[in-house]
Amino acid sequence: MAKEHSEKLIANNKKAYHDYFIEDTYEAGIVLAGTEVKSLRLGQCSIKESFVSIENEEVFILRMHINPYEQGNIFNKDPLRTRKLLLHKAEIRKLLGKAKEKGYTIMPLKVYFKGGKVKVLIGLARGKKNYDKRDSIAKKDQAREAARDFKIRNLK
């Protein structure tokens, strides 16, 4: 019998979906200190300016901000420190090969709890041009308008 894992969202990177085409996603574990996990349970995290880098076949997340835990005193770590991500070696090699291609980058998309463990969803992203962004906004507006019309029609 498989255990069912519920997910509790901590932080979401909406800007990544606006600025990039997300081509592939990977779920990664993250190495954290105890006070950082306590702070994450309170929802004290931001990944807006963060990015992922690969060095020596190890994956790191940089500029991820986790607020210091208020009762953490001397055990608190630097809020913007570099943290290691945990992925399988085959996934790291695949990401490394794609990231070397022109126009690709690796972005953190969301941070969440899954089965009591903190996970980071990272995505292989390709940058959007301004006309792509305008096109995405126009499609969202059309979908919103269609949903509104559908709702009004069904109320009558």
Q: Where are the domains of the chain?
A: 7-128
In angstroms, the CA 128 to CA 126 distance is: 7
pTM: 0.75
- Give pLDDT tens digits for 26-59: 898 888 877 778 888 888 788 888 888 888 888 8
pLDDT recorded at residue 131:
66
- Give the residues of the chain that fall short of pLDDT 70: 1-5, 72, 74-76, 131-132, 155-156
pLDDT at 1: 47
- Give me the architecture of the 7-128 domain, per CATH: Beta Barrel (2.40)
DSSP state of 6: P
Closest Cα to residue 30, out of 87, 99, 90? 87
